Amino acid sequence: MTGSNYKYPGFISYSHRDRKVAEWLHRALENYRVPKRLVGSAGQFGPVPARLYPIFRDREELSAGALAEQLRLAIAQSRCYILICSPHAATSRWVNEEVEHFLSVRDPASLLCLIVDGEPNATAKGHPERECFPPALRNATVNGLPLEPMAAQLDDDADGRDNARLKIIAGLLGVGFDELKRRDLIARNRRLAVLTGLSLGVAAVTVALAIFAVLAQREAEHSRQQGEELIGFMLGDLRGKLEPLGKLDILDAVGDRATAYFAGLDRGSDPGPRALAARAKALRQIGEVRFAQGRPADAVETLSAALKLQRDLVAAAPDDNALLFELGQTEFWVGYAGWRAGQFDQAETNFLAYQAISQKLVSRDPANLSWQIEVAYALNNLAILAFERHRYTEALPLFEQVVAKARGLVDDAALASEATKLLGALSWQGSTLLRLGRNAEALAKLQEHADLLRARVQAQPDDQWQRYALAFSLSTLGYSALDTGDTAIALSAGTEGAALAKQMVSADPSNYDYRQTLLMHSQILAGAEFQANRMEAAASENAESLRLLNDLLAHDGTNRETRRRYMTAAQLAYEMAWLRHDVAQARSVVDEALGFVGKVLPDAKPDRVDYAQAHLYALELAVYEDHDEVAAQVHREAARNALTDADESQADDAHASARLRALLGLMSGADHIPAAAQPNTKAPWTYSVQRFVERHCGKPNALLNKQLCSQYPPDAQHPRLSKTRDDR
């Protein structure tokens, strides 16, 4: 293509965390007016245009579809490639892939870099945390020499924002920076001269305009209030219509623009309580949408702003039930954010505040069934917290109360939908019974909940929320069936749930929760195929779950549930490698697991259990394959320290922590397995102690005595293990 034949003057590539800079640059480029004396002159790419429009910004321009195909086409149709460089971009898989593709098909001379943080090639200088170039750019060469792209720096100590903007514009126009800056300055001075002349005329009418100032201010306040109520409608009523269709991605731009709109308002003015209430509600609704899209940091930011605003409003008008209700909703969502991040103490504080508000509303109007629903929701939240803390005897009666309240409301047509959501407590009730060892009752409750939702889906086949609720319920049933050794139920739940999840992801690819649900069912199917001794099918499903996991982790690497599921997939891959006696594959799994948990050791207790698990894999290889006592001691200490720090009451599965302690003991000379670590099912993630003993009893090793080995005969379910034991 020639310079004039490109569809886009530029393509902006950036990490999601640099979105605000990308939005600023996008506006700055498209709104820039080229100085008249430069327009039409000869530039590097042909005649200089009057405008740089349109600029392609990948996260905004792309629609739901084949991402890679659209990106390749957009890059091919762009004259220049603009890379926003930062430590976030340097570690972004997606940015690196875009740069890699660009360099493979285009002239590197058309690459323009805007450095917003960090420094180029800092990795080579021993400061990888400061690196701002992605690997594809750091490794690129031209004629055997390292590529040195044109780079502008946003920092005031370097180019500064204005000069950095002009450098990028000069690169897009194909003209020299100094020439553009000189022409731009001349054009600005001319505009200033014109404005100075006009200001004299403006002064003449200022007095007349002042007469209408008060009326204009009132009209502006009225318009602003209408605008904020419209935003509330789009994020509330319109969201209610889009959510069943699985089309929340339509509201993405609404949330971003509304957030920017609110940030720029009220420079010292008082908009009034009604406008502030509308704004607070809109901010809370933006937070809800952000959670559904897997953007927890953005969600927490807007929810915190809403909470502060609503607390102030309620303090000023404590008898206003509508304001009190909205405050309760935001207290819940802030608590939900804490629960989702594993910060249970924070979650409890907000959930108790939500419960107190709901009870206060009911005391003011006992006949209001909607507020009774809120009391039930509050009770359900506290029951879930008790479950997460492994206080199962405390959680069970709370869930039973929620189910009883929901059954009493489900026949009310106006409340049927909310009552159905509350009946999700049936699923939690089943999970609690499972932890208490009442397996038959547990599966019955889980089946009952899935049957109830299946009937709702059949009655409302186009309601995407009902599909999601059923798919999630089936995931709980599937995991529970695996844990109790019921392979048939696990396969059935996994197959049905995966089909539902694929439909949901196809309808709304941006919905993080839908993609999480598809991942869960992929793992359920992998575990069920493993239990059924169909190893090829298990390996295929586990590989698919790892692919889904990598996509989710690239989007949000902080999500606690996603991190735990990564280790579930790693454990299954590790066990299958040992069954095949494929030590090289087992080592590959261990290296990846160590890399995953080694990036950061968070305070969240479940992550410490995962950290210990990865080091125990490495310890097994060091002791039984490499006979490397130095490496063994390193991994033994890492696992011991992590398990010492881990609080079993906070871990997702106290049995998992007990099993890891047992494995550490067996690899350190213990001669027995504690009762708490005994596997009680054939589920791949609960069966690790028995498999470990089977793997190594056939080898001459002082760490495992004959009496211990005699307690664990070969596993008849997986004959390959017993067949190859003597050979090993």
**Residue 232 scores a pLDDT above 80:** no
> Rounded distance, CA 453 to CA 380, Å?
18
Q: What is the pLDDT of residues 405-420, one digit of tens each?
A: 888 877 777 777 788 8
**Domain boundaries, given as residue ranges, for the chain:** 3-186, 584-725
**Residue 343 scores a pLDDT above 50:** yes
Average pLDDT of the chain is 80
Pick from 2-6, 482-486, 518-522: least confident: 2-6
Q: Are 280 and 310 in contact (CB under 8 A)?
A: yes
> Rounded distance, CA 330 to CA 99, Å?
41
In this prediction the pTM is: 0.55
Can you give the pLDDT at residue 488?
A: 94
> Rounded distance, CA 728 to CA 720, Å?
12
The whole-number average pLDDT for the span 338-345 is: 82
Task: Work out the pLDDT band at 237, boundaries 50, 70, 90.
Answer: very low
Instruction: State percent of the chain over pLDDT 70.
Output: 77
Query: Which of 565-579, 592-606, 655-669 is most confident?
Result: 565-579
Q: Which has more confidence, 468 or 220?
A: 468
> Rounded distance, CA 282 to CA 302, Å?
9
> Rounded distance, CA 496 to CA 480, Å?
15
The whole-number average pLDDT for the span 84-96 is: 92
Positive or negative torsion for Cα 108, 109, 112, 117: positive
> Rounded distance, CA 693 to CA 714, Å?
10
CATH topology of domain 3-186: Rossmann fold (3.40.50)
Can you give the pLDDT at residue 341?
A: 76
Q: Which has more confidence, 36 or 356?
A: 356
Can you give the pLDDT at residue 650?
A: 43
Can you give the pLDDT at residue 284?
A: 78
**Residue 584 scores a pLDDT above 90:** yes
Can you give the pLDDT at residue 358?
A: 93
**Main-chain phi, psi angles of 489, to 5 degrees:** -65, -40
Task: Work out the pLDDT band at 286, boundaries 50, 70, 90.
Answer: confident
Closest C-alpha among 111, 101, 198, 117 to residue 148: 111
Q: Which two structure tokens, joined as six digits, stand for 391?
A: 């206080």
Those residues with Cβ within 8 angstroms of residue 674's Cβ, 6 or more apart along the chain or in another chain: 658, 661, 662, 665
Q: Are 399 and 442 in contact (CB under 8 A)?
A: no
Q: Compute the radius of gyration of the chain from its Cα atoms.
A: 30
**Residue 56 scores a pLDDT above 80:** yes
**Residue 382 scores a pLDDT above 50:** yes
Q: Which has more confidence, 702 or 383?
A: 383
**What's the burial of 632, exposed, middle or buried (CB within 10 Å: 0-12/13-18/19+)?**
buried
> Rounded distance, CA 474 to CA 490, Å?
9
Task: Work out the pLDDT band at 73, boundaries 50, 70, 90.
Answer: confident
Pick from 97-106, 180-189, 658-667: least confident: 180-189
Can you give the pLDDT at residue 55?
A: 92
Q: What is the pLDDT of residues 712-724, one digit of tens each?
A: 655 545 544 433 3
Pick from 17-26, 166-175, 332-341, 678-687: least confident: 678-687
**Residue 63 scores a pLDDT above 50:** no
Can you give the pLDDT at residue 652?
A: 47
Pick from 236-250, 357-371, 455-469, 661-675: least confident: 236-250
Can you give the pLDDT at residue 250?
A: 46
The whole-number average pLDDT for the span 215-228 is: 43
**Residue 475 scores a pLDDT above 90:** yes
Q: What is the pLDDT of residues 139-172, one digit of tens each?
A: 998 888 889 899 999 988 888 888 899 999 999 9
Report in angstroms the alpha-carbon separations of 728 from 662, 663, 666, 688. 23, 20, 19, 19
Can you give the pLDDT at residue 459?
A: 86
Pick from 88-102, 260-274, 627-641: least confident: 260-274
